[in-house]
Structure 1
Amino acid sequence: MSYENWSARGRTPGETETEVRSALDAPQVRTRQDAAIALVDAAESGLDRETIDALGERALEDDDPEVRQFAVEALGVAGAAPAVVRQALDDAEPWVRAEAVVALSRAGGDADQPLLVECIKTDPHPAVREYAAQFLGGVAEDVPEAERILAAMLAREPNAFARAKAAESLGELATDRAEQALEAHGVTDQSEDVARAAKQALASARGTDPEELDVEIGPPSAPGSGPDTPAEQSVDGYDPAGSFDSARSGSGSPAPGGAPGFEPRRDLNTDPEDRT
């Protein structure tokens, strides 16, 4: 049994899976973190049923958010306990929820279109929406809905990383409507990273080299400019953890994702051209 994760080197709390599993119950937070990280690597070769059960308990009940996050990641690598991982989508810590999206979206995973669309529309943290957008193109069965959600996200989502993943998924869909969205809202994005991702996605959709596209990307944005500046990401009184329940229930939180006036359930449910 080897543990190659860089952050666990020299700190693996055991020589066998049984010893590492026992360390998940240690009173020291750092020991539990190291055990969960070590099991992320070990999961690639498969884990015992007892270890999967122990990780499931840590994923849902540990007081430390990093232990919960690493436990979810290990379960995802092992392709185990999808019901537990789905429950982690309701965690108060955004990075646990984001890891749950990734875990459910792994090859042969349990992330379907309704789940990913719900995460995009309702989660108040941009990382969760980013990962949901990244995987939506690969599982879309209702292609028109996926086109609409991703196109609206590319046009309105305040976070550049999330917009870039929406562009990539549109390229994966490779439909006429997806190409139109990439041309209208992607390659013209004020974030150079998003514009380049959109150009690459457009080329992929058309089966050509990006350099062969007759598409010009605007001048690089200045550092700190664009829709992801601290001023635009902060909202007085906005608490992602406190607003999470209301956002997921659809009642609307003040600016999910930290962008004033951005409401995913409203803004991502219509075509970009339909908003009045």
Structure 2
Amino acid sequence: MTEEYANRSARARSPLRGRDDSTDRDDEADLRSLLASACEYERRNAVLALVERAEDDGLDAETTSKLADRLAEDDSADVRQFAVEVLGVAGAEASAIRGALEDADEWVRAEAVVALSRVDPEDGLLCDALEDDSGWVRRNAVIALGKTERATFADLTDRIKNDPHPAVREYAALYLGERATDDQTEDAVRLLAAVLARDPEAFVRAKAAESLGDLATDRAEQALETHGVTDRSDDVKRTAKRALASARGVDPDQLDIELDDGPPGGGPQSPGETPGGPGPGAGKQRPGNHQR
């Protein structure tokens, strides 16, 4: 289990903790019974504890059925979000997860994309999620499709140019270099160079620099030298220097480049959408990508 997940885990505060008949590993049947509790806190903690149970040993069919009921019926968005997470970890039937892609809460939908990508990475609904109103859902869709190489060059280009959500552009920039064929490399470098020069978000520019280093053309190296190692963000400059070294097949310390100190961010770092739209595609926002 990652440290990030451990920070969210409810095991230490499980509603069963401290009972005489409980063990260090919460009993699945007891946790399942708590899914029907009138107390949202107990339902939420029980579902979170079941994530750990699913990771370690899987879950009984009866438990996944009860979780599917919670996902469809619970009035707590937190419970629904964690329920769909458990279903994905447990490898439940995709049919139990698909409905959550229509949930009113964006975090439930975003988690549903992750869960569906676990149990059925070829499901066509993952492509549909690229058009979701929520940037976080679109971000997870880009990652899911990028990992399975189902994100097309056109999809990623469109997201980079037009998506107002920085996290979507960030991962689209990461996967664009991987998806570019030989005859698309020049277009990919041109777009990523524009992102590196103009995107307002530092972490988007950093991913563009990383991809340029992987593409390793003369123009990619030029962009890294012109815009990357001179970026206003320290993070971007360091990433660009590593990318330039990778493109040239040398150690970063072998480059005769001194980085000036700068701010770690160098651009808006809000998790929301970029005001005014993204850099390279400003003014070309796709219908349905509503700012919040």
Per-residue Cα deviation, 1:52-90 (whole angstroms, up to 9, x for no partner)? 12222211x101111101010112233524420111111
Which letter does structure 2 place at the counterpart of 1:171? G
Question: What residue in structure 1 maps to residue 164 of structure 2?
Answer: 124
User: How many Å apart are 1:8 and its aligned residue?
Assistant: 4.9
Answer yes or no: is 1:201 the counterpart of 2:218. no
CA–CA separation in structure 2 for the residues paired with 1:254 and 1:31: 32
Counterpart of 1:93 in structure 2 is 134
Percent sequence identity is 45
26-35 vs 165-174, greater mean Cα deviation: 26-35
Distance 1:129 1:156 in 2: 13
Q: Report the counterpart of residue 173 of structure 1 in structure 2.
A: 215
Shift of 1:9: 4.2
Distance 1:38 1:171, change over 3 A: same
Displacement after TM superposition at 1:19 (Å):
3.4
Kept in 2, the 8 Å contact 1:12–1:34? The answer is no
Equivalent residue for 1:153? 195
Structure 1, residues 178-218: CA drift from partner, whole Å, max 9, x if none?
11110111000010000000001111111111111111111
Partner of 1:37: 85
Q: Using a 3 Å threshold, how does the CA distance of structure 1 residues 173 and 164 change in structure 2: closer, same or farther? A: same
Shift of 1:12: 4.8
Residue 22 of structure 1 corresponds to 69
The Cα RMSD (Å) is: 2.6
Q: Which amino acid aligns with 1:111?
A: A
The 3-state SS of whatever aligns with 1:102 is helix
Q: Counterparts of 1:91 and 1:131 in 2: how far apart (Å)?
A: 16
Spell out, residue by residue over 1:88-122, the C-alpha distance to the aligned partner (whole angstroms, 9 max, x if none): 1111111111111111111x331121110000011
Query: Cα–Cα, structure 1 residues 53 and 229, in superposed 2: closer, same or farther, change >3 Å?
Result: closer
Distance 1:52 1:264 in 2: 35
TM-score by length of 2: 0.72
Matched-pair contact (CA < 8 Å) for 1:255–1:263: no
Contact persistence 1:256–1:263 (CA under 8 A): no
Q: Does 1:184 align with 2:199?
A: no
1:135 alignment partner in structure 2: 175
| 1:19 aligned partner, one-letter code | K
Q: CA–CA distance in 2 between the matches of 1:211 and 1:12?
A: 51
- Say if 1:200 and 1:263 are closer, same or farther in 2 by CA, change over 3 A: closer
Indicate if the aligned counterparts of 1:101 and 1:111 stay in contact, CA closer than 8 A.
yes
Q: Is the 8 A contact 1:256 1:264 kept in 2?
A: yes
Contact 1:5–1:37, Cα closer than 8 Å, also in 2: no
Question: 5+ residue gaps in structure 2?
Answer: 12-44, 51-58, 285-292
Q: Secondary structure at the match of 2:94?
A: helix
Structure 2 Cα separation of the partners of residues 103 and 180 of structure 1: 31
TM-score (norm 1): 0.75
Whether 1:77 aligns to 2:118 is yes
Which amino acid is the alignment partner of residue 140 of structure 2? E
- Who is 2:153 aligned against? 113
Q: Which runs of 5+ in 1 are unaligned?
A: 234-238, 241-252, 268-276
Residues 212 and 221, structure 2, Cα contact 8 Å, conserved in 1: yes
Give the distance between the partners of 2:113 and 2:282, measured in 1 at CA: 26
C-alpha distance in structure 1 between counterparts of 2:208 and 2:134, whole Å: 23
Q: Within 1, Cα distance between the matches of 2:120 and 2:245?
A: 33
How far is 1:22 from its partner?
Answer: 3.2
Decide whether the 8 Å contact of 1:167 with 1:194 is kept in 2.
yes
Contact 1:12 1:38 in 2 (8 A): no
Residue aligning to 1:255: 276
